[in-house]
Structure formats: C-alpha cells, structure tokens
Structure 1
Amino acid sequence: MTVLTSRLDTSGAEYARNRAALLAQVDALRAASAKAVGGGGETYVTRHRARGRLLARERVELLLDPDTAFLELSTLAGWGTGSATGAGIVTGIGVVSGTECVVIAHDPTVRGGTMNPWTLRKNLRALEIARVNRLPVVYLVESGGADLASQAELFIPFGRVFAELTALSAAGVPSVALVFGGATAGGAYVPAMCDHAVLVDQQAQVFLGGPPLVKMATGEDADAEQLGGAAMHARVSGLADQLAVDERDALRLGRAVVARWHWRKAGPEPRAAPRPPRYPAEEILGVVSADHRVPFDPREVLARLVDDSDLDEYKPLYGTSLVTGWATLHGYDVGVLANHRGVLFGEEAEKATEFILLANQSDTPLLFLANTTGYMVGTRYEQAGIIKDGAKMINAVANSTVPHLTVTMAASFGAGNYGMAGRALDPRFTFSWPGMRQAVMGATQLAGVLSLVARASAEARGRPFDEQADDGRRRAVEEQIDAESRAFAMSGRVYDDGVLDPRDTRDALGVALSATHSAPVTGRRGFGVFRM
C-alpha cells in the first residue's frame, strides 16, 4: 500500500501552537485581500454605482458560468509599495461558456482604472499564463490608460501587453475585449489587439486621445461620443464587432463569443475521478511549524493534499531530506518534490535530478512543495561537489518542459529557491503560504555575514571596530530583510501568483493543473535518464 499514514497528534500542544500561529496569518491574509476587494474605497465605489455601473468583480461573476470556481491571481499586487493593494486590476482563471479562460478586469474605482507599474506587472503575468498554458483571454476594459505620474516606469514596458495579445492571436489562442467605459491611449489598443471587441453603448469611449488632448494637439473641440463612442466605433470606424445596450448585454455577448470558439484542450483529460484525501485539509494548519526555521514532515501535508492520500515514494531511503514520489491531484498525475528537513545535500540534488528526468520521460507534471534553507555549505560538502550537484538539479528544473507548479510553504532561501522551481525558473504557477520567507538567506544569517565582512575590513585597515554601531546595523538589516522576505511583500511585487490559505491549496492546484492541460503536456526529449 502506498497510502500515507498520518502521525500528526492533533491533541498536542505543538499542534495547537502551530494552528494558532497560522490562523493569525490567515486572518492577516483575509484583511489584506479585503483591501483589494474594496477597490478604491467606499467613496469611489459609491460614485461608480451611482453611475449605474457594475464593479469589476461583479462583472467577473456575471461573466463566469454559475457555480464554477474562479482562481484569482496576484490579489495582493501592489501591497506595501504605496500603491493600492490589488493594483487596480482583477486577474484570474475561470470558466466562461464551458471554456477555461484567463479573465482580466480593470477596476475603475482605483484611480479611474489607470495603470501603474504594479498593474502592468500583474497584467503581463496574467497574459503570460494565458500564453504558456494556451488559455483564451477575456478582457473587461475600463481604463484611463497609464497613470501619468509613473509613466517613466510604465511607458516602455507597457508595449509588452500588445506583444502578448498579438502572440496569442498568432498562436491561434482567441481573445475578446468587453469595453464598459473609457479606454484611453494605451488602453484603447486593447480592444484593437483582441480578436473580438464588444462595446457598451453610451458608456464605452475608446480613443487614443480624449477631447482635452485633441484640443491641445490640434485645436479641435471634439465631442467625446463622436470622437470615440461605442456607436461611432460600431457604425463608422469598425472597431466594435458588437454594440451592447448595457453592461449585462455586453457580458451576454461576450459569453456568446466564447461559446462560438468551440475551444478544445490539447492536453490529456484527468486519468481518474478525483478522490478526496483521507485526512481533512483543516489539519494542515497544525502541521506547519509556527517558526519557519523549524522543519516539518511534508508527508503530513501531502496526506491532506493528494488524491486518496496516496503517494508512491521514489527512493524513500536515499536523500531523505527531500521527499519525491508519484501521486494524483484532482485526477491529474503529478510528480511531487517536497523538502523535509530544509537543507539540500548532494544526495537530494541527485535524487531530484533523476526524478525530474523520469517525469519528463512520462509527460508527468511536477509539483514542488518548497521549504528549504538552500544547498549545504562547508568544506566537506564543497569538496564533495555540492556546487556540481546543485547545478545538475537546477539544470534539470530549467530544462524540464512538463508543467511545474510551486507552493512555497515556509522557507525558500539561496539557490534552493531555484532548485525547487522558484519564480525565476518559470513554473506555470507559483503560490505562497502566508508564513513563508524568500531571500538570499535568513535575515539573521544575512545580517551576520555583513557584520563579519565589516569586522574583517576594519581589521585589514588596522581600525577599531565599533561594536555598538555594528549591533545597530545588524538589527536594522535583520528588520529590513525580514520585512522584504515575507509572503505579502513578495506577492505585492508579483513574485508569485497569490498567497493561499493552506486549506485552499488542493483546489487551487486543481484549477491550475486543469489550466496547464489546455496546452499539450509533453516532457523534454533528446536525453535518457542518467544515473549519478
């Protein structure tokens, strides 16, 4: 039998301590997410409703098929940056007329739907997900274009939005823009770059330059409706394919457009009907250590994550600080790599490399559950070739072509972040748990290294070392690194696709796996499995 047997003591003090700590983090996640859901705040939401308009998330809800899941992405984009949490845009994956689509919706209650650098980063990530997973796109447009105050950081990279949309079209992946309000300057090109465009009469106004800019540039006193109104674009310019009478009609027309695509997935269907785990997801809260520096057994997580709690372990007696094995998740085959005791030794790197090659041979997606302090350091390990072993593992991750999904459960430091398919290694999706940390190394270790370097420099110059000043610097560095490495800060900079309540991980991964199977699932060929 390969079914995992849980040894978790749910009545113990450690379980209660872990659960309480993680529940506090989940509460903080909910509070941060509520800011994103709140858009621009009560004043601007009320003003938007007074105009008879739907909110961005209401538009998304009416667009999607009833009683289907919506996996929202990058919810905390902009958190801690001085910009609005959520970055004034909603992105995610949902089912429209039976078709899984990437949905991108501007939030006009946040600075009129204008885009800042974090909006752009979130927008581009959604389009990248659409491209690499071969997912159709539905754009819900109401944007004032670039936030002019940040144009220096926005203008040059913003052209990538157009490149992504045209690349989708060239690859035969369809898109449709539903325009509910203003779409100015860069925002005007979105309906033009999409394959289909639906504009709402007496609401949508699409122009490169609005009346004030036209006045400044040409001296013309232009009427907004004649310049870029929906009726003009339907009857004169030809930009609009359909003229909707109101917002709900636009959503109806958009759903009809998607239905006519008759979209077919290129990947295999789930191999089996999903079977729930034998242990409740609620218990994950007591598995994860309250202190991210304290390791925990990922098998306890997997017992509450994979179908029927069934994991066929690969090399269970070798490289034991990394758990590898085969499982199914929501009916999809996956290969799992999960850190056990944090540090990756040469044996773990060799084991991971071989396992990744096997997954590519069998066209099996890979799930990385990361909790690592990195590859082991020290004279013994350097002489044993830890650099070479780590490089093999990173090489295998970088060149693997099956879908990778990454969940950072706790620590993810140093090159271990790369070996466990961190964001730089292009996983199809990457999620975080709210207590995780990502950095070059732990805050205490990093501050200590800087202190040692400063001390050595002082000694080399024959100068006295100021211990009091060093203590202050160390504390300041520790606080900075600790703040920068936390989950919300990382997600705020769109270094992941969202922070998850651990209890929702199974379903989030189920949606993500289904999305990856819209594209072919094919492993890298051209090399056999080599033993090291």
Structure 2
Amino acid sequence: MPVYRSMLDVQSESFAENRAAMLGLVGTLRDLENRAAAKSEERRPRFEERGQLTPRERLSQLLDPGMPYLALYNMAGYLADNGDPATSVPGASMITGIGFVSGVRCLVFVDDSGINAGASTPRSVDKALGCLDIALKQKLPFIHLVESAGANLMDYTVELWAHGGGMFHGLAKLSAAGVPVITVLHGPSTAGGAYQPGMSDYVIGVRKNGMAALAGAALVQAATGEESDDRTLGGAEMHASVSGLVEYLAEDDAHGIAIARDIVARLDWNKDCAAPPARAFTEPVSSADEIAGLAPVDYRRPYDMRELAARLVDGSDFSDFKPDYGVSTVCLQADVFGHPCGILGNNGPIDPQGATKAAQFMQLCDQADIPLVFLSNTTGYMVGAEYEHAGMIKHGSKMIQAVSNVRVPKITFYVGASFGAGNYGMCGYAYAPDFLFSWPNAKTGVMGGEQAALTMEQVMTRSAARRGKTLDPAMLKAQRDKIVSLFDGQSDAFYTSGHMLDHGVIDPRDTRKVLGFALETCREARRRQLHPNSFGVARM
C-alpha cells in the first residue's frame, strides 16, 4: 500500500501550542517519577551503613544492561494514598516492570525500602496483585527483591489485610502454573510478608540483613512474653541452616542478585520458546517526536488517528478498512516492528456504522489471530433520536460483545478522551487489555465535567419548570462549578493512574516502543509451553 502522506504542519501555531502543552505534561510525569526516586535516595546513608545497595541499584544489577525495560504502575498511589498533589509520592513503595534477566523476559518487583522502610501503602496490595496477574497471563518468571517493614499498623484497614491474602494466592497460582517465583531476601520480611519467601520456589537470603519471621521480636514479646531478637527469630543464616526456608545464602546484596541471575539462566526458560526469526521492518517515515505537537491537550479538539498511526507503524504504511463507512471510527491493518496488528482509533464519537465496522474488524483480526491495538480518543457513543432510531444500542452492543470475547492480545492506549461506554467499546480498564497505558493528557470517566454539569442543570431546570418555579442563577453556577470540579478532578490521567486504572502513564513519543515491547511480550506468552502441576512447589 502507498505510504501515508502526513498533512501535519509542523510549522503551524497549533502544532507549537500542542507541543508546548504536551511537553509540560511530560515534564510533570518526569517530576513525579523523580519525586519517588529522590524520596528513596534520602535513605542512601542508611543503606551504605548496612553495606547494602539501594533499591534502584538492586534493580540495575538484576537487569541485563542495554536491554529494554517497561515500567509498570509508575503512578500507583498518587493522589490515592495521599490526596495532596504537592506531596503525594507515586509508586506505592514498589518499583515494578518487565525486563530481561539473563536473557529471559521477567516481571521484576523491587520493594522500595528507601520510602518508609518499604511499608505497604493502601495501593501496594493492588499494585502487587496487578503485577502477579500480568506475570501469570504473560507467563513471566516473577523475581521479587524483598525488604519491607510490611503493613503500617497506623494505617491499618481490614480491607488491606483481606486483599493482602491475594498476594500469596497469586504466588501459589504462579508456581502451580509452572511460572517460577524467585525471591532475594535483602532485608526484613515479617508477619504476612514472611509468606513472600515462603510461597517462592527459590529463596536467596543475604547474610546479616535478610530476615523473615511471622512475628518480629517486639510482637513476640507482646504476644507471648518471650524475649528474643530478629536475627535469632528469622535471620537468613538461620533459615539457610535450620528452617530450610533459604536455599542460597549470599554474602551481600550484589551476590544475592548474581545468584538470582544464575538461577534464571539455569532454568533454560526459553528452550521451548525460541526467539522468532528477525523480522524485517522499516521505521515510520513520520517522526515519533512529532506526536507531541500532533495531539491537543484539550480533548475537545480532535485530531486524525491516521496521523498518529503514521508515527507508530512500520514505514508509515497501513491499509484503511472501510474508510468511507462509519468514518469517525478508524480501523487500520499495519505492522509494528514486524508484528502484524489491527488498530482501532477514534476521530470523534462512535456512531452505529462505526460500531458495526469496529465489531466486524475485531472479529476478522480474531479469526486471523492478529493482536488488536486501541487508540482511545472518544467522548462516547452518539446519542439523540436519530441514533436511537438507527439502533445505537444494539450496534454498540455488537462492538462491546466483540471486544469482550476476542481471543487475541489487546493493547490499549488512552490518547485523549475516553468517556462513557465508548471507553468500554475501545477496550478500557474493565475489558482486561493485556496492557493499558495512558498519555498524560488523557481524560477518562463517565463523561466530561462540563457535560455532566450541563446535564444536571437541565434536569433541575426542567423539574423546576414543571412545578412553575425558576432557579437562582447563582445557585446553578455554584452547582455547575462543583460538578465540573468533581468530574474533571477524577478524569485526569495522573489521578486515574494513581488509582490503578491503567498500567502507567507514558510519554506519547514512546508509544511505538512501548507498543512493540508489549506485542513481543504477548507473542512470547502465546507461544510458551508451561509445565503446570497441581499445587505449586511446596517448600521442604
């Protein structure tokens, strides 16, 4: 097919305006990520005093140098654990992502013990459960670098405790599925956290610092009156020689990580999932850097999904499926890093024709075993008498049926607005995409704040008119402002990502790289043969 000829004017005033606004949001993203790193770095003297590596140094030594790494849940907890934008720290005291260890694609999970000693926040459990789910779905060995004070008893909630059991359930399911769990015990892991090494297939304990016990010395004395110390109760040395909890005893953090890398190398994990032949591809003709000026920050200003696709797909080359039917819904066939995929995007609200077109396109991709990519930028399905009479409900339902039941990988990006049932039809959070990332300009929710405020105002005005009354304009304005603030405050990408409604916020210019990594991860998972057993590996 002919290469798409971009119509984007990179010299225009609107391009410059879009770019400045988008890069401002990317700057906010980087500032928030750095906030967590800086907070953790404050504890560096304490790590050095104990002869330890910092959490980020541990991650760096674990991963293969020069290989790609995809961070997951980078905003988790932001404005959720602490509602103050000036002080809220994202990350939920954990550093998580997918990276390569000894040539094997793994899910890596590092307790950020530089922040409150790695104590759990209300979103820590949600983040852990999300990572366990991804590891199981994508068949990724799970490596946990442990050092955590466990739950903060001052912030205890019964929900946190109840949901926390799901972490150990998830570890058991991984082991039983044939996905290995490897733990390096860098520091303390007490109470419920002691089951982290207990539920692992391989445990490496670090001398002097590694420790696991159902109760630390303070709790033991409070509960039983027994006086002891943490090293006697659960030091790595004791577990390596007495309890059998630890398989490998490391001299220090670096040695423990080296052992973990060696374990992964000896798994021969890729023996049944050989790397595919190198795929020939060409980079997009249009530069990914231009995405920052292509997409307006204001979702009410549309832009063409074909222009975005031209900066994502190989050679800026794609086939446009039914371009003259359901024109506000864009369906494209293309390759990304040599991987065929079907791309769905929105050039506005979804009408009945667009919904049926999308449903057919998804079924065709499912039939051909081609992954689906959703570029979600829609205010929802069309409303009004014309569209109701045209069968918007039944046609929209076809689209939702299709996205719910296709068997191929689904990868979603929120690249603008993603409101109402339009979010559902475009494979939003509830539709279990394999990966879901937001741009920092994205807005998601039932509807925009202005629309919600106007809806309520019209309802109240009509109700008052039926009673022969008029409403005070000042009261209506106050209500309007309140509703706009309520809806728009919760639709912001940093807020929704902080509440774990995606897998993280990314720089729009990195979308092609993230998409390629996600497609390769899904391809590998679909081709990998596991060797499950009934109950997981029991510790002896």
Residue 317 (structure 1) aligned to one of 315, 320, 324: 324
| Partner deviation per Cα, 1:417-441 (whole Å, 9 max, x = no partner) | 0000001000000001111100111
Cα RMSD, aligned residues only: 1.7
User: What is the rounded CA distance, in whole Å, between the counterparts of 1:321 and 1:429 in structure 2?
Assistant: 24
Query: What is the CA distance between 1:181 and its match in structure 2?
Result: 0.1
Aligned equivalents of 2:401 and 2:338: distance in 1? 29
Q: How does 1:72-471 map to 2 (within 5 A)?
A: 72-81=71-80, 82=82, 84-148=89-153, 149-264=155-270, 269=276, 272-340=279-347, 342-460=348-466, 464-471=470-477
Cα displacement (A) at 1:332: 1.5
Q: What is the CA distance between 1:457 and its match in structure 2? A: 3.7
- Most deviating of 29-38 and 422-431: 29-38
Structure 1: gaps of 5 or more residues: 523-532
Shift of 1:464: 4.5
Shift of 1:261: 1.3
Tell me the distance in 1 between the aligned counterparts of 2:362 and 2:107.
28
| Residues 396-429 of structure 1: per-residue CA shift (max 9 Å, x gap) | 0011111100001000001000000001000000
**Cα contact 1:93–1:103 (8 A) shared by 2:** yes
Letter of the 1:118 counterpart: R
AA matched with 2:33? S
CA deviations 1:159-205 (Å, max 9, x no partner) are 11111111111111111011100001121111111111111011111
Cα pair distance change 1:268/1:52, threshold 3 Å: closer
Preserved contact between residue 51 and residue 252 of structure 2 (Cα < 8 Å): no
**Residue in 2 that maps onto 1:507:** 513
SS at match of 2:117: helix
Q: What is the aligned partner in structure 2 of residue 69 from structure 1?
A: 68
Task: Tell me how far 1:278 sits from its aligned partner.
Answer: 1.1
Could you list the per-position Cα deviations for residues 315-361 of structure 1 after superposition, in whole angstroms to 9, with x for gaps in the alignment? 12211111112111122121110112x11001111111111111111
How far apart, in 2, do the equivalents of 1:124 and 1:49 lie? 31
* 3-state SS of paired residue (1:519): helix
Q: Secondary structure at the match of 2:290?
A: helix
Q: Secondary structure of the residue that 1:507 maps to in structure 2?
A: helix
Distance 1:399 1:430, change over 3 A: same
Is the 8 Å Cα contact of residues 176 and 195 (structure 1) preserved in structure 2? yes
Q: Which amino acid aligns with 2:12?
A: G
> Are the aligned partners of 2:32 and 2:89 in contact in 1 as well (CA < 8 Å)?
no
**Deviation of 1:269 (Å):** 3.3
> What is the letter of the counterpart of residue 184 of structure 1?
T
Find the residue that maps to 1:75 and give its secondary structure.
coil
How far residue 15 of structure 1 moved from its aligned partner, in angstroms, is 1.1
The alignment status of 1:6 with 2:6, answered yes or no, reads: yes
* Counterpart Cα distance in 1 of 2:273 and 2:343: 23
* Counterpart residue identity of residue 47, structure 1: R
CA distance in 1, matches of 2:468, 2:203: 71
Partners of 1:68 and 1:246 in 2: CA distance: 25
CA distance in 2, matches of 1:267, 1:459: 71
CA shift in 2, pair 1:115/1:270, >3 Å: farther
Distance 1:49 1:455, change over 3 A: farther
Secondary structure of the residue that 1:32 maps to in structure 2? helix
Aligned length in residues:
520
Alignment correspondent of 2:23: 23
Cα shift readout 1:188-244 (whole Å, capped 9, x = no counterpart): 111111111111011111001000111111111112112100000000000001000
Residues 355, 399 of structure 2: 8 Å contact kept: yes
Q: 1:266 to 1:352 in 2, by over 3 A?
A: farther
Contact 2:438 2:506 in 1 (8 A): yes
Gaps of at least 5 residues in structure 2 are 83-87, 529-540
- Residue 40 of structure 2 is aligned to residue 35 of structure 1: no
Q: TM (normalized to structure 1)?
A: 0.95
Report the alpha carbon displacement of residue 505 of structure 1 after superposing the two structures with TM.
0.9
Deviations 1:286-334 (A, max 9, x none): 1102421111011111111111111122112211111112111122121
Give the conservation status (yes or no) of the 8 Å contact 2:76–2:123.
yes
- Alpha-carbon distance in structure 2 between the residues aligned to 1:460 and 1:233: 76
Contact 2:52 2:252 in 1 (8 A): no
Amino acid at match of 1:14: S
- CA drift of 1:40 comes to 4.1
Against the structure 1 CA distance between its residues 311 and 389, is the aligned structure 2 distance closer, same or farther, given a 3 Å change threshold? same
- Secondary structure of the residue that 2:156 maps to in structure 1? helix
Q: For residues 359 and 207 of structure 1, what CA distance do their matches in structure 2 show?
A: 51
Q: Against the structure 1 CA distance between its residues 201 and 325, is the aligned structure 2 distance closer, same or farther, given a 3 Å change threshold? A: same
Q: 1:104–1:427: structure 2 CA closer, same or farther, 3 Å change rule?
A: same
Q: Quickly say closer, same or farther: Cα 1:139–1:106, change in 2 above 3 A.
A: same
8 Å contact 2:297–2:416 — kept in the other structure?
A: no
Checking the alignment, whether the CA contact within 8 Å between 1:267 and 1:520 is kept in structure 2 is no
CA distance in 2, matches of 1:2, 1:150: 60
Aligned residue number for residue 525 of structure 1: none
User: What SS is found at the alignment partner of 2:437?
Assistant: strand
The residue matched to 2:300 in structure 1 has which SS?
coil
Superposition deviation, residue 462 in structure 1: 5.2
Report if aligned partners of 2:320, 2:331 keep a CA contact under 8 Å in 1: yes
- The worse-fitting range, judged by mean Cα deviation, of 13-22 and 386-395 is 13-22
Which residue pairs with 1:48 in the alignment? Answer: 47
Q: Please report how far the alpha carbon of residue 363 of structure 1 lies from its aligned counterpart in structure 2 after TM superposition.
A: 0.8
Q: Which moved more, 1:101-110 or 1:261-270?
A: 261-270
